[in-house]
């Protein structure tokens, strides 16, 4: 195999592999440390059977916590989010002005659910017994769908995991 | 290294009996593959606007999805690994396995496991998907079936180790033959990794589903599941790597560069496959962000042996093609044996794995993962890895393994070659559709025919996915036509079929002896797992408060 000069090429390939992998790692760590994109982390625990009596989940809804800053306390249950507000069709909604930073504080009263808002960084699991906390700034007015993205069962073809969603309405 | 196959007449009774059980194990895998294909068809049709679950006598999309996942990634992969890497040890050490009873026991454990799990799923008692996240609570038969499938793999490891010990007694001081080494290391890695799900199911879920304990801790169960749930992908993949490293170079007329490099690659998989599970839980609450990043670090380490593999395999292919008169920088590719269905399937499998590996790196990148986690990007990714790199390799290996085990000549070679092209073309559309829709925000694990929040931008990609999936199912059907056609042929029509083993440029004599110290590497692997997981289990807030839910 001397004709292939394999040893020299292999050595360079291995160096390149290490450089590429280390480069990716540095980029990801920079996205956390410098750009401040954070993963959900440990935010405490509770008894999922007592969600309705445990603050803040005893009173789901939107609260202003500062200038342009809001907390959206939500409870996920099969097969609906409770946000404290619904639109005319009964779809759970959260209404905020453009430019708001919304911190979603969510837990589950039964099985595992998910919270996902396409085209944003909001992508987190909702696990019974745990508190999920995740923040997102909404600059552009419009309707953002938030949906459950972990299989949580079904009642029938109309109602189930596939019908569990709500809307963030960002007003101009 | 000897490459001549012994004619069947020389086989001892133990070897004949063991090959028979390995054959049945392989067929069990095919049963899983067939069920998985049927469910895959229903899913592809749903993407194209035909929701046919009622017509198929299934209660929901999710019931079909559970059967699809369990069939493909537990039954097909486990049964194939059990058969292939048992036969590999026999071929490599040139002796029967230490115990025929254990070869049979592995088959029966897997077969009973399949029967129990299949009953639970088909009776609509276990619509929990293959991830079986508590507190959704299936019938206990589902859990017992899963445990028996895992036990079948433990039996294979035990038999491999007994056989290796007997060989070492007869060959003191000799390096372990490569094929036996990689087969055993694959199963040692998997044994350690499988302890997570074994504890989850045996200690927490079975007593809970029987009502012996009232409540469980869903997050703890997830952590235990993903302790096993990432290394399991290497348990699917490594039998394919074994085939790519050991048999494919031989079939293309090339040589493997170095015995030592391959042993090193498998040791890296033994070390880094398991301490990475939290990268499946980047978005979980209740788990510290710093620990997630530690697991990400190890995840990048486990990518390295795959990059080495990419280079080494490409070199072996080029060596073979140039040996057969191939020329140029890339023109030699035409000189590969494109008429050999076994080779073609595995060339496409490798190509699929390049794309699968790159997309996997996206998922492993903690913050980038926020864009794709639990979107249809994820099934787009793993249909390139397990769904193509592994599945096409299993089909390619079967094209010589079935003749090897039955003595029947492979039927319809041209059809078998076409089958691989069709699968690869299918998965290119399928994964493209899923990945594009995922980046546009489509969640995974949802029937598009029923979802109430579908976006306009997903529709085109759903059609692309549906067409690709249908092509894959068609290809899988052709695979079964070829295998059944083969089984209908006369015994002995195949002549003496060889279990191909490639020669090496640098043989085992040139490999450092430390590579063969399996006990040492296992110990290092355990230390790395302790570094990655002790902080997770110490800092975990144990919260056994969730009762079971049956919501399907």
First-last CA distance in chain B: 56
B439 interface with A at CB cutoff 8 Å: no
Residue with tokens 């006369």: B490
Q: What are the beta bridge partners of residue B195?
A: none
A139 interface with B at CB cutoff 8 Å: no
Q: What band does A4 get if pLDDT is binned at 50, 70 and 90? A: very low
pLDDT in tens, B486-539: 999 999 898 889 999 999 988 888 889 999 999 999 999 999 999 999 999 999
Cα separation, B288 vs B294, whole angstroms: 10
pLDDT in tens, B86-145: 999 999 999 999 999 999 999 999 999 999 999 999 999 999 999 999 999 999 999 999
Q: Which of A71-85, B156-170, B507-521 is predicted with the least confidence, judged by mean pLDDT?
A: B507-521
pLDDT of the residue at A10? 81
On whether both A64 and A119 belong to a single domain, the answer is yes
Whether residue A38 lies inside any domain: the answer is no
- B502 Cα to chain A: minimum distance (Å): 14
Cα separation, B384 vs A115, whole angstroms: 27
The mean pLDDT of chain B is 95
The mean pLDDT of chain A is 93
pLDDT of the residue at B507? 86
pLDDT of the residue at B2? 43
Q: What band does B192 get if pLDDT is binned at 50, 70 and 90? A: very high
Query: Would you say the C-alpha torsion B110, B128, B529, B274 has a positive or negative sign?
Result: positive
Cα separation, B333 vs B327, whole angstroms: 9
pLDDT of the residue at B462? 98
- A67 Cα to chain B: minimum distance (Å): 27
Domain that holds residue A19: 2-33
Whether residue A40 lies inside any domain: the answer is no
pLDDT of the residue at B494? 87
On whether both A59 and A136 belong to a single domain, the answer is yes
On whether both A17 and A95 belong to a single domain, the answer is no
pLDDT in tens, B309-340: 999 999 999 999 999 999 999 999 999 999 99
Of B444, B480, B489, B506, which is the active-site residue? Answer: B444
Chains A–B, number of C-beta pairs less than 8 Å apart = 207
On whether both A21 and A58 belong to a single domain, the answer is no
On whether both A14 and A87 belong to a single domain, the answer is no
Whether residue A74 lies inside any domain: the answer is yes
Of residues A37 and B381, more confidently modeled: B381
- B122 Cα to chain A: minimum distance (Å): 16
On whether both A29 and A108 belong to a single domain, the answer is no
Whether residue A118 lies inside any domain: the answer is yes
Whether residue A42 lies inside any domain: the answer is no
Cα separation, B449 vs B458, whole angstroms: 12
Q: Complex ipTM, two decimals?
A: 0.94
CB atoms within 10 A of CB B323: 15
For residue B504, how far is the Cα from the chain centroid?
26
B531 interface with A at CB cutoff 8 Å: no
**Mutation choice for B interface testing from A43, A53, A162 by most B CBs within 10 A:** A162
For residue B365, list chain A residues with Cβ-Cβ distance below 8 A. 24, 28
Whether residue A43 lies inside any domain: the answer is no
Indicate the angle between helix axes A6-33 and B289-323, nearest 10 degrees.
160
Of B241, B382, B404, B424, which is the active-site residue? Answer: B382
Q: What band does B225 get if pLDDT is binned at 50, 70 and 90? A: very high
On whether both A27 and A86 belong to a single domain, the answer is no
Q: What band does A6 get if pLDDT is binned at 50, 70 and 90? A: low
For residue A13, list chain B residues with Cβ-Cβ distance below 8 A. 307, 311
Residue B287 region by backbone torsions, left for phi larger than 0, else alpha for psi between -120 and 50, else beta: beta
B264 interface with A at CB cutoff 8 Å: no
On whether both A13 and A91 belong to a single domain, the answer is no
B296 interface with A at CB cutoff 8 Å: yes
A17 interface with B at CB cutoff 8 Å: yes
B432 annotated active-site: no
What does the pLDDT average to over B414-433?
Answer: 98
On whether both A89 and A26 belong to a single domain, the answer is no
Statement: residue B423 has pLDDT above 90: yes
Pairing mode, strands A113-116 and A80-82: unpaired
On whether both A25 and A98 belong to a single domain, the answer is no
A109: closest chain B residue by CA = B546
Query: Would you say the C-alpha torsion B33, B35, B37, B43 has a positive or negative sign?
Result: negative
Tally the domains of chain A.
Answer: 2
pLDDT in tens, A96-127: 999 999 999 999 999 999 999 999 999 999 99
For residue A123, list chain B residues with Cβ-Cβ distance below 8 A. 283, 369-371, 373-374
Counting every residue written for chain B, the total comes to: 552
For residue A111, list chain B residues with Cβ-Cβ distance below 8 A. 133, 135-136, 218, 549, 551
B444 annotated active-site: yes
Statement: residue B5 has pLDDT above 60: no
CA distances to B55, B134, B420 from B506, in Å: 59, 50, 32
CB atoms within 10 A of CB A82: 20
- Percent of chain B, pLDDT > 90? 92
Q: Which A residues in the span 102-131 are in contact with B, Cβ-Cβ below 8 Å? A: 110-112, 114, 116, 118-119, 121, 123-131
On whether both A109 and A137 belong to a single domain, the answer is yes
Cα separation, B199 vs B205, whole angstroms: 9
Statement: residue A23 has pLDDT above 80: yes
pLDDT in tens, B459-501: 999 999 999 999 999 999 999 999 999 999 999 898 889 999 9
Cα separation, B245 vs B238, whole angstroms: 10
CB atoms within 10 A of CB B337: 16
What does the pLDDT average to over A162-166?
Answer: 97
Whether residue A85 lies inside any domain: the answer is yes
Pairing mode, strands A93-97 and A165-171: parallel
For residue A126, list chain B residues with Cβ-Cβ distance below 8 A. 285
Of residues A4 and B327, more confidently modeled: B327
On whether both A143 and A66 belong to a single domain, the answer is yes
B307 interface with A at CB cutoff 8 Å: yes
Query: Would you say the C-alpha torsion A60, B292, B377, B224 has a positive or negative sign?
Result: negative
CATH number at residue A142: 2.60.40.420
Whether residue A39 lies inside any domain: the answer is no
First-last CA distance in chain A: 68
């Amino acid at each position: 195999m001397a004709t292939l000069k394999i040893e020299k090429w292999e050595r360079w390939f291995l160096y390149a592999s290490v450089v590429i992998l280390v480069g990716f790692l540095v980029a990801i760590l920079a996205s956390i440390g410098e750009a401040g994109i954070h993963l959900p982390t440990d935010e405490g625990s509770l008894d999922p059977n007592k969600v309705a009596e445990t603050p803040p989940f005893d009173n789901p809804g939107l609260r202003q916590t500062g200038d342009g800053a809001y907390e959206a306390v939500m409870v996920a249950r099969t097969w609906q989010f409770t946000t404290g507000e619904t639109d005319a069709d009964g779809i759970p909604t959260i209404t905020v002005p453009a430019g708001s930073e919304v911190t979603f504080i969510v837990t589950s009263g039964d099985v595992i659910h998910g919270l996902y808002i396409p085209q944003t960084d909001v992508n987190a699991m909702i696990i019974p017994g745990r508190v999920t906390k995740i923040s997102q700034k909404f600059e552009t007015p419009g309707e953002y769908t938030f949906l459950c993205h972990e299989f949580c069962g079904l009642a029938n073809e109309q109602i189930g995991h596939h019908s569990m969603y709500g809307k963030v309405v960002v007003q101009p | 290294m000897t490459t001549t196959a012994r004619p069947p007449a020389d086989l001892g009774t133990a070897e004949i009996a063991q090959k028979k059980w390995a054959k049945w194990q392989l067929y069990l895998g095919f049963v899983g593959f067939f069920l998985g294909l049927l469910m895959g068809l229903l899913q592809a049709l749903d993407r194209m606007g035909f929701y046919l679950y009622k017509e198929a006598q299934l209660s929901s999309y999710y019931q079909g999805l559970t059967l699809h996942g369990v069939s493909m990634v537990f039954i097909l992969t486990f049964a194939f690994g059990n058969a292939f890497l048992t036969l590999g040890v026999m071929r490599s050490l040139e002796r029967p396995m230490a115990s025929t009873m254990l070869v049979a026991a592995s088959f029966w454990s897997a077969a009973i496991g399949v029967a129990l799990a299949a009953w639970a799923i088909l009776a609509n008692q276990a619509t929990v998907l293959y991830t079986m996240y508590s507190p959704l609570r299936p019938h206990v038969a589902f859990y017992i079936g899963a445990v028996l499938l895992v036990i079948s793999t433990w039996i294979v490891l035990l038999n491999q180790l007994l056989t290796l010990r007997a060989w070492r007694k007869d060959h003191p001081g000799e390096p372990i033959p490569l094929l036996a080494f990689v087969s055993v290391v694959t199963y040692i890695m998997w044994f350690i990794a499988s302890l997570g799900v074994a504890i989850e199911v045996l200690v927490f879920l079975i007593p809970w589903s029987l009502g012996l304990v009232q409540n469980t801790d869903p997050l703890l169960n997830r952590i235990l599941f993903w302790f096993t749930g990432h290394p399991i992908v290497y348990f699917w993949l490594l039998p394919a790597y074994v085939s790519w490293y050991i048999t494919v170079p031989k079939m293309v007329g090339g040589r493997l560069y170095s015995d030592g490099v391959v042993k090193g690659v498998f040791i890296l998989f033994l070390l880094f496959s398991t301490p990475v599970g939290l990268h499946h839980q980047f978005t979980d609450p209740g788990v510290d962000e710093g620990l997630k990043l530690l697991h990400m670090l190890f995840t990048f380490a486990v990518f390295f042996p795959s990059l080495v593999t990419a280079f080494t395999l490409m070199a072996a292919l080029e060596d073979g093609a140039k040996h057969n008169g191939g020329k140029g920088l890339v023109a030699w590719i035409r000189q590969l044996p494109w008429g050999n269905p076994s080779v073609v399937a595995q060339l496409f499998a490798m190509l699929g794995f390049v794309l699968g590996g790159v997309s996997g790196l996206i998922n492993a990148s903690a913050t980038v993962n926020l864009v794709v986690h639990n979107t249809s990007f994820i099934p787009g990714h793993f249909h390139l890895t397990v769904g193509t790199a592994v599945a096409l390799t299993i089909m390619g290996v079967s094209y010589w393994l079935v003749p090897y085990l039955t003595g029947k000549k492979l039927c319809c070679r041209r059809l078998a070659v076409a089958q691989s092209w069709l699968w690869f073309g299918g998965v290119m559309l399928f994964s493209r559709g899923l990945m594009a829709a995922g980046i546009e925000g489509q969640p995974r694990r949802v029937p598009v025919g029923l979802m109430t929040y579908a976006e306009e931008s997903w529709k085109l990609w759903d059609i692309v996915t549906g067409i690709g999936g249908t092509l894959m199912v068609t290809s899988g059907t052709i695979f079964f036509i070829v295998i059944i056609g083969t089984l209908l042929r006369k015994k002995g029509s195949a002549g003496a079929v060889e279990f191909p083993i490639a020669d090496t440029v640098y043989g085992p004599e040139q490999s450092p002896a430390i590579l063969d110290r399996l006990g040492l590497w296992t110990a290092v692997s355990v230390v790395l797992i302790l570094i990655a997981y002790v902080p997770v289990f110490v800092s975990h807030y144990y919260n056994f408060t969730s009762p079971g839910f049956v919501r399907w």
